[in-house]
Amino acid sequence: MNKRLRLRLMLLLVAALAALASIHPESVSADVPYQTYYKDNYNQLFKMQAAYTPAGALGKDLFVPDTSNPGQTVYSPLNQPQDLYIDSRDHIYIADTGNNRIVHLDAEGRLAGLITLPDSPFNRPQGVFVDTNGDIYVADTGNQRVVRLNGEGELLAEFGRPESKLIPEAFKYDPIKLVVDKRGFMYIATLGGYQGLLQLDPQGEFQSFFGANKTGFSLSDSIKRLLYTREMYEREISKLPGSIASVDKDGNGFVYTVTKEVRTKQLKKLNIAGLDQLAGKGEFADTMTDGSFGEYIHRAGRTGYPQLNDLTVDGNGNMTVVDSKLNIVSQYDGNGNLLFFWGGAAGDTTTKLGIVKIPAAIETNSANDLFILDSENNIVQKYRLSEFGELVHKANGLTQDGRYEESEPLWLEVHRLNAYYAPAVLGLAKAAYKKGDYERAQTLFKQAGWAQGYSDSFWQNRLLWFQSNFGLLMNVVIGALLIYFAAKFTAGRLGYGAKRRSEHYNRKRAARPLPLQLRHAFYVLKHPIDGFHSIRYDQKGGLLSSAILFVLALVSYAIMRAAISFIFNPSIIVEVQLVTILIRFIVVWLGFVIANYLISSLYHGEGRFRDVLYGSSYAIFPFILLGIPITLISNVMTLSEQSIFTFLEYGLYVWVGLLFFWMVQGIQNYGVGETIINLLLSLITMAICAVLLFIVFSLTSELFNFIYSVYQEVTIR
């Protein structure tokens, strides 16, 4: 596609979106100018009450002494500020990048001082950090240095590019963000520094690179590697691991990083050894989430992937990240479980309380208020926890500490206020499990959609059931066996069984062939090639019986898709509808029948169309036999028996596949080799048909649209 056409298409798309947006004016909820959401582990969004409410805008009225006019003040707004830090006294420090200064506000947001370092001025400083002793560290990006100042803003030390053999030549030392740990070691994020954080000791000596990201390697990469020349492959810059965008730390010695331009592990919680504590953790590690951080709102103009810009960790260990691209604030607890998120594209006409245009940095004060620095509107927005948010924090804190029982009343209240908030259901489920109330735990875990918990409590319940019903169960089994043997014995004695069966067979054959045709399905299972062969040559199958078998198989397949336990089949929670699934089944089956018939008739096959049709109906017979049993069994299994379930399920598909193979062999009277070739060709034919159809359809609709557009353009303009 050439560039101009692409541009044109993009413009059209934009216009289209504008049209959609215009018929859908944004509704505003009361109390807060944004909507807060929760996303469950099946990627379903739920609107919820606000967790944080806007509490003010700071830094919009900055007046500094006028140098040319003593005694007067002059308005001096922030200019593209990039970083924010709140110290232990709740004073706010802003890296006012565009003005080459650090702005110091007191806890109420009044101007408390400006740090400009007149002897050695800053050049676009992008990061600021204040140590517990009041020392201020500034990442002076433009000057390629980190400076350490005392509380009065006097220079104490200056750290340029560290000297070490371990630092590669190509490494660019442009510090953007930094934190300093208790020992005085600095962790510096540098612009484009994919090696990780630069760790320096208090003297500025290089220690190591810390918390580097890994390079992703995908299937397409391996193909590229195979096909590309070395030069071409190396030119792929995306093969560098993402560079760390920002860094923060908590009181327990963990260092947190956020990374842009990666799809997973955007947020990391690193221990002293540089190991990510969030990897593979989180409640929902076993379901459909993929370990990615930074949320987005479906349908609200998603134009890319989250690009996390900064994070903050509050007193309870909850992590809040801001996304500078999609403009979303997401909060996670200390283990990386989503608590809530809000935001979305800001209207471009107005500046509003609580609405951030470009979130550059985020910080928390001691009261767990959030502060978000808006580098477009040049203000700091302050947010306070709502009653609901506070309740969730309290309850979740207890749950994370394992104090499930204590958390129960709090979660109950959260659940009363919001029945769809999965963490509350999960908290209650854990409390119930802890107390041994497995019935309730099972229901709640299912409601929350957490397979592992559900499976565990179901395991307990199943055990209890077996324990209490073991006697009865055994009696039933023994009784059934006794009756069976007794019946067999008497029948053998009287000579009924065999005779009656053969009579039955003969009588029916003469009267109505349908039951016989149906019974032939069982014969096919036992002697597939022979069975299919006799469908072709002995008219053992018929249209009606095939139709019945097909419909039954379809129903059985539908039951499987709809009723297999959610722990093995998580998609049922999201995709409830069966119509698409059924259509897909029919289309694939019919496509195969036709493609196979076409190929066979060219490839000296002996089967007629109806034989292929009948045979294919008989070949899916295992669905009828096994579909419902598998569905039932799945509902009494736990995750620990997953291998059995998987075996059964795959076994079913393999069996059906084999039957299709023998069907072709028997009906077309092929050898094994011929069958394989025939099947391959059939599949290729199916694919080609699909592609052709797709092209034909999209082209005709495009053509029609094109003519309509031309007509419209001519008549309107």
Task: Name residues contacting other proteins, limited to 46-75 (CB under 8 A).
Answer: 46-50, 53-54, 57, 60-61, 63, 75
Least CB distance from residue 48 to other proteins, whole Å? 6
**If 0-12 CB within 10 Å is exposed, 13-18 middle and 19+ buried, where does residue 452 land?**
middle
Least CB distance from residue 11 to other proteins, whole Å? 8
Q: Does 523 bind other proteins (CB under 8 A)?
A: no
Contact yes or no for 321/293 (Cβ under 8 A): yes
Q: Which is nearer to other proteins, 256 or 597 (CB)?
A: 597
Which of the stretches 13-21, 107-115, 254-262, 650-658 binds other proteins when contact is defined by CB under 8 A?
A: 13-21
In this structure, the number of other CB atoms found within 10 A of the CB of residue 149 comes to 21
The residue count of the chain comes to: 717
Least CB distance from residue 558 to other proteins, whole Å? 8
The residues near 698 (Cβ < 8 Å, ≥ 6 apart) are none
User: 111 has which bridge partners?
Assistant: 105
Backbone angles phi, psi at 423, to 5 degrees: -55, -35
Which of 420, 459, 523, 603 is close enough to bind other proteins by CB under 8 A? 420
Least CB distance from residue 92 to other proteins, whole Å? 18
Q: Which of 547, 533, 556 is nearest to 611 (CA)?
A: 533
Q: Does 708 bind other proteins (CB under 8 A)?
A: yes
Which of 275, 473, 544, 587 is close enough to bind other proteins by CB under 8 A? 587
Q: Does 419 bind other proteins (CB under 8 A)?
A: yes
Binders of other proteins in range 280-319 (CB under 8 A):
299-303
Q: Does 590 bind other proteins (CB under 8 A)?
A: yes
Which of 123, 150, 571, 712 is close enough to bind other proteins by CB under 8 A? 712
Here's the x/- map for other proteins, 602-621, by CB under 8 A: it reads as ------xxx-----------
Q: Does 21 bind other proteins (CB under 8 A)?
A: yes
Q: Which of 201, 326, 342, 204 is nearest to 266 (CA)?
A: 326
The residues near 387 (Cβ < 8 Å, ≥ 6 apart) are none
**Longest alpha-carbon distance in the chain:** 123
Give 95-98 contacts, CB < 8 A, sequence gap 24+: 95/125, 95/126, 95/127, 95/128, 95/138, 95/139, 97/124, 97/125, 97/126, 97/141, 98/124
Q: Does 7 bind other proteins (CB under 8 A)?
A: no
Lookup result for tokens 């319940």: 461
Which of 470, 485, 489, 704 is close enough to bind other proteins by CB under 8 A? 704
Q: Does 599 bind other proteins (CB under 8 A)?
A: no
Least CB distance from residue 436 to other proteins, whole Å? 24
Which of the stretches 323-331, 540-548, 572-580, 622-630 binds other proteins when contact is defined by CB under 8 A?
A: 572-580
Give the orientation angle of helix 543-563 with respect to helix 513-526, to 10 degrees. 60
Q: Which is nearer to other proteins, 232 or 590 (CB)?
A: 590
Which of the stretches 27-35, 86-94, 226-234, 319-327 binds other proteins when contact is defined by CB under 8 A?
A: 27-35
Secondary element (H or E) of residue 473: helix 451-494
Which of the stretches 30-38, 177-185, 528-536, 644-652 binds other proteins when contact is defined by CB under 8 A?
A: 30-38
Cα 352 versus chain centre, distance: 31
Contact yes or no for 625/557 (Cβ under 8 A): no
Q: Which is nearer to other proteins, 124 or 561 (CB)?
A: 561
Give the orientation angle of helix 642-668 with respect to helix 579-602, to 10 degrees. 30
Binding footprint of other proteins, residue count (CB under 8 A):
100
The two structure tokens encoding residue 40: 């469950």
Q: Does 387 bind other proteins (CB under 8 A)?
A: yes
Which of 33, 151, 241, 274 is close enough to bind other proteins by CB under 8 A? 33
Q: Does 462 bind other proteins (CB under 8 A)?
A: no
Question: What does the alpha-carbon distance between residue 351 and residue 33 come to, in Å, rounded to a whole number?
Answer: 11
Binders of other proteins in range 72-91 (CB under 8 A):
75, 77
Q: Which is nearer to other proteins, 319 or 599 (CB)?
A: 599
**If 0-12 CB within 10 Å is exposed, 13-18 middle and 19+ buried, where does residue 326 land?**
buried
Q: Which of 525, 583, 557 is nearest to 649 (CA)?
A: 557
Here's the x/- map for other proteins, 344-383, by CB under 8 A: it reads as -xxx-xxxxxxx-----------------------x----
Least CB distance from residue 30 to other proteins, whole Å? 5
Q: Does 555 bind other proteins (CB under 8 A)?
A: no
Here's the x/- map for other proteins, 651-690, by CB under 8 A: it reads as --------------------------------------xx
Least CB distance from residue 420 to other proteins, whole Å? 5
Least CB distance from residue 71 to other proteins, whole Å? 17
Which of 288, 417, 516, 555 is close enough to bind other proteins by CB under 8 A? 417
The dihedral built from the CA positions of residue 688, 694, 695 and 697, taken in this order, carries a sign that is positive
Which of 12, 463, 486, 677 is close enough to bind other proteins by CB under 8 A? 12
383 three-state secondary structure: strand
The two structure tokens encoding residue 663: 């069907």
